[in-house]
Each structure stands twice: as structure tokens, then as C-alpha cells.
Structure 1
Amino acid sequence: MLMATKLSERLISRIKEDIGSGKYPPGSKIPSEPELMLLYGVGRSSIREAIKALALAGILKVQQGSGTFVMEHTATESIEQRLGRADFDEINAVRTLLEKELVRLAVQNYTPELLLEMERSLENRKIAIQAEDREACANADIDFHMAIAHASGNSVLADLYKSFTLMIRDFFAKREPGGIVNFALSHHLHEQLFLAIKSRKAKAAQQALQEILDNNY
């Protein structure tokens, strides 16, 4: 029997583990409520609460009259796998929301060490532009934005943003050969963003970031 304490959370974790292990494969129908009650040693209300939560999370799908099924793409996927199925417009929309919040927090919370990290990444970006090294530009650009993410002081947001860097890096890689020009054209905006963060000028930082995002730099 599961402990009464945090019963629903324990049950949800157990079901997710069984989905992840392949006991209930994507697309398959999970056992009926009475069977689940016996399998997990809990009451009907706990089963229903867990199924409701897993359905809201996009892991299960309840079909009236047919039963409850495991979604083809479940929440047991890594964030990288889920992002791999998204198109760039979706990625960029979430990136925009994340970056705006990260910049807002970075203005308030950056430390001297993280400010130095931003400055170094920005300098590496400039050097890569002068060397016309597009891969180095992409790497330095991502390092700069990751430094901002770390400066936000919110490790959860920073980790989430890190997951987006793979998709952003892929976007840079697929740009046409002239893509180095985009890095050069946007460098002054990145410098403005850095200086605004350094000066703790929230409005100016958001304005510089918006120009970067508007032009997909």
C-alpha cells in the first residue's frame, strides 16, 4: 500500500515511472480503475485524481466510453525531444518570453563575476565577427545570452533557457553563408543590452533586447 501522506503525488510518480519504463507504451490503453486500484493499492478517488492530473499534464488522454490512453508524446520525453518536434516560430515565441524575463531579472540580480562573464562573451563575439568565423559567432552569442540567464539568479529559468540553446544553435547553423553579416549588424545592439544591464536600466535593456528579437539576431 502507498503511504497516505502525499498519496496522489506518489501515485502520479508511480504511473509516470511505469509509462517511462514501457509498461504502458505510448498509444496504449491503461488498465481500468478497478485494476489500477488493485495494482497500486489505493482507492478509486486517488486513482481518479491521479488520472485527472496526468491528463492535464498531457501524459494521458481520457476518452469517454473507450478508456484512458497514454499520449503518443508524453511528458516523460526530455525537453530537448519535445523542442525537436516544435517549429522555429514556436521556439522563438517561448525564447522571447524567457529572454525578456531573464533580462529583467539580470538587471536586478547580476553579480560582478557574471557581469564579467557577459563582457567576455561579448568580446569573443566581436573577435569572431572580425575573423568571419560564423560558428564561433554563434557560440559566443549563445554564451552571452546564457551569461544573462545565469545573472538572472533564477536557476530554473536558466536551465530551461539552456535547453533552447540547441535549437537556437541549429537555427544559426542553417542560416545562409551571409549569416555572419547578421552577427555584425546586431553587435551594437548586444553592446547596448550589456551596458543597459550593467547600468541597471531596465527599460533600455528591454528596448535593446526587443530590437534583437525583432530581427531574429
Structure 2
Amino acid sequence: MTLNPLTRSPLADQAARTLREQVASGHWPVGTRLPGENELARQLGVGRSTVREAIRALAGAGMLQTRQGSGVFVVATRPVEDLRTTLRRASAVHLFEVRALLEVEAAGLAALRRDDEDLAALDRALAARHAAAHGDDEEFVAADVALHTAVVAAAHNPVLTELFSAFEPALRDGLLDLVRLLPLRHDRPDPGADSHTALVDAVRRGDAERASGIMREEVKHNLTLLRGAEN
């Protein structure tokens, strides 16, 4: 398939849009190596610098990846920003179902892979969560998410870390809605204090099964509360 030459500016934006369409349409599936810069420039009717700028834009969006000495490859069929949009629109129940998939595994991996720096970060995050119990709901939820972020970081899996990073804003909003909807902090300003302390302790002791189990029960409890509130 031959690409149509571009005729209007800004050319780099047009080039990026054309390349994105080729990826999204399935013409260049995930794993495909793109034609070289010279060939893309010829087909698009632009200079190589314009092609490079377009490729950088799509790489920044998470669709393309440049591999030194190998070329440019398709790694996703849509921009990462679309995932963030999907997460923002997702229901709270769907968010917590995804949370179970990510964080239960992350907790187990953290117990197996954590190092001294991770443990120090977890201790700080746990202390901050306890301290935030005296603050408002937004402060408490932010501290809670920060602790879970530290657990994911301790898993030392860059893909998992990136996924959680995209997921984090929607999770924070979902937790805030949960806290305010039920409301969870009326009887106890620090809900889940015991389970979060136990989670950090399990990671410290290297008990992957225990860490995963604690995380699984927390998400299960949250899902039960959410489903009850929706009925």
C-alpha cells in the first residue's frame, strides 16, 4: 500500500496522523517494522526530519518504539492517552476489578524482589498514610494511593509500573468516590490501617503468598462495598 503525499502544513502533524492511521487500521500490526525514513519520506512527500518528528510524536504516545540498530516498530495500536481516557470513563467497579489484576500480582512480586530502598519507601508511605488520617478525604486517599504505588514499584517490573501509572489517576478518583459515598471514614479516620500494616510487613518478610492474599482481600472488600452501594 502506498501512502498519499502530504500537501498542507504543519507537515509533521500530518505525517504523524497518517502513520497513526496506518497503525490503527491494522495495515501495520503490532510487531511490524516500519519502512525506513527514506521510504516514508518519499511516500509522504516530505523530508526525513519531518518523518523523524512524526515518529517521535508516535513514540511519545506509546504507539511506536525505536530500537537501536533495528528500526522503528509498532508496539500499540492506539495512543496511551486513549487508555487514560478509557480509565477516566470506567465505572468504579470495573476500575477495582482491574486493580485486583494489577495489585494482587504486584504485592506478591514486591515480597520477592524488594530491596532496602523499597522497604524504606514503604515505611515512609505507611507512616504518611497513618498521618493523613488526620487530614481531609483527598489527603488520605492521596496517601493511600502513594503506598500502593510504592508496593508496585517494589515489584521491579517496568511494564507493571507503567500500567499502574496510567491507572493511578482513575484509581485515586475511584477511591475518593468510595470514601465519600459510603462514607468509610466516619467511624474510623484510617480505614484499612491494620491490613496495610500487615501488607508492608508481608513484603518485608518476603511472604509473597501473604502479601498477595492481603491485597486480594482488600480489593474484594472494596468491590463488595461498591456493588452494595450500586444496588
TM-score, normalised to structure 1, is 0.63
Take 2:80 and 2:214, find their aligned partners in 1: how far apart are those partners? 35
Partner of 2:185: 180
Identity of aligned residues (%): 26
Name the structure 2 match of 1:147: 150
Report the secondary structure of 1:153's partner residue: coil
Residue of structure 2 equivalent to 1:157? 160
1:105 and 2:109 matched: yes
Counterparts in 2 of 1:77 and 1:208: CA distance versus 1, 3 Å? closer
* Structure 1 residue 18 corresponds to structure 2 residue 18: yes
Deviations 1:144-185 (A, max 9, x none): 111111110101101101111111111133232733357623
- Cα drift, residue 91 of structure 1: 1.7
Q: Residue 185 of structure 2 aligns to a residue in which SS?
A: helix
- Equivalent residue pairs, number: 161
1:184 is paired with a residue of what secondary structure? Answer: coil
RMSD (Å), alpha carbons: 3.4
**1:112 shift after superposition:** 0.6
Q: Is the 8 A contact 2:105 2:212 kept in 1?
A: no
Higher relative contact order (Cα pairs below 8 Å, separated by 6+ residues): 2
Question: Shift of the alpha carbon at 1:208?
Answer: 1.4
The alpha carbon displacement at 1:82 in A equals: 2.2
Helix, strand or coil: the match of 2:222?
coil
Distance 2:211 2:190 in 1: 19
Structure 1, gaps ≥5 residues long: 3-14, 31-38, 42-73
Unaligned runs of 5+ in 2: 3-14, 28-39, 44-76, 224-231
TM-aligned CA deviation for residue 17 of structure 1: 4.6
> 2:81 matched to 1:75?
no
Structure 1 counterpart of 2:201? 195
